[in-house]
Amino acid sequence: MFYAEITRPASVRPRRTGVPVPEETPESPVSRSWSRSTERAAAILACFSLEEPRLRVSEIAKRLGLHPSSVYRYLEALEAAYLVERDEEFGGFKPSLRIVELSAVVLRNLEVRRQALDEMDSLRDELGLLVNLGVLRDADVIHVAHAFPAGWPRENMDVGRPAAAHATSLGKVLLAALPLEEAVRRVLSAGWRSYTQHSIQSESALRAELAKVAEAGHAIDDEERNIGIVCVAVPIRAADSKVAAALSVTGRADSIRQRGTDQLAARLTKSAVRISSRMGRSPEMLAYL
């Protein structure tokens, strides 16, 4: 077994919900009340994660600084909308299958994913490596598609699973497409989240790495997320020339190094160009790497 299981490192700080509990605003009482209720319901939903798929009312209340009775009322409303359901054995709540339906809506309408799937399958068949597609959210890369080679374990490789962007080749490519100060700000705001001893853990190292990625046109995860695993990634650009996603291949460190990271990046770029073309990039603008 050459796959190193992806786990949540002990040094990772608690997951931010990304939805602040709202404060009072000078709006009308009615609109303010509706806005506050909507934002609090969203904050409650955002508390659930892959690491914490089930939560008790008291846990959510403590996390958000709300009264348990208020949290329970919001959960009842979310339950009526089929967004959460009770977990009687656990004694709390969990997201319902309606969330799966909504995630399917998001994935089906993500153009870069639609245009990339066939190309990803071709890369997998040609190289025998795991192929990944990711997009950026704050300081995380969100995996939106995988093409698995035969024998590759699928545990902890869920679509939608976030990872610290600065510790992955996909994430580095996406961060490098941002203004440098913006990229650094995002990573510092999320905090250093180390998966292995090779993960970037300082601002100076981050700045140097993003400058290197921007110049080379591709990024490498050299055992930074999983010991013994190396990834190579390149950007995919939309019709407006902005980086829309990143495409990567993943394999055993010895296999990737034997093939050559530059050679793999060049092969990935050919696929990225074709995907970009399908997204509306004009031929004369495709030589972006």
Q: pTM to 2 decimals?
A: 0.77
pLDDT in tens, the chain (289 residues): 333 333 333 333 334 444 455 454 555 554 566 678 889 999 999 999 888 999 999 999 999 999 999 999 999 999 999 999 999 989 999 999 998 888 888 888 889 999 999 999 999 999 999 999 999 999 999 999 999 999 888 776 778 889 999 999 999 999 999 999 999 999 999 999 989 999 999 999 999 999 999 999 999 999 999 999 999 999 999 988 899 999 999 999 999 999 999 999 999 999 999 999 998 865 544 444 4
Domain count of the fold of the chain: 2
Final residue before a domain boundary, out of 58, 77, 109 = 109
- 172-209 pLDDT per residue, tens: 999 999 999 999 999 999 999 989 999 999 999 999 99
φ and ψ at residue 141, rounded to 5 degrees: -100, 135
Full residue range of the structural domain in which residue 21 is found: 1-109
Distance (Å, rounded) from C-alpha 36 to C-alpha 25?
Answer: 10
Are residues 125 and 102 located together in one domain of the fold? no
Domain identity same for 256 and 155: yes
Alpha helices in the chain (DSSP H): 29-47, 57-64, 68-80, 97-108, 111-127, 169-176, 180-190, 203-216, 253-259, 261-278
**For residue 39, what is the domain's CATH number?**
1.10.10.10
**Is the same domain home to 132 and 70?**
no
Domain boundary among 81, 109, 137: 109
What is the C-alpha separation between 147 and 257, in angstroms, rounded? Answer: 21
**Could you say which of 91, 109, 127 is where a domain stops?**
109
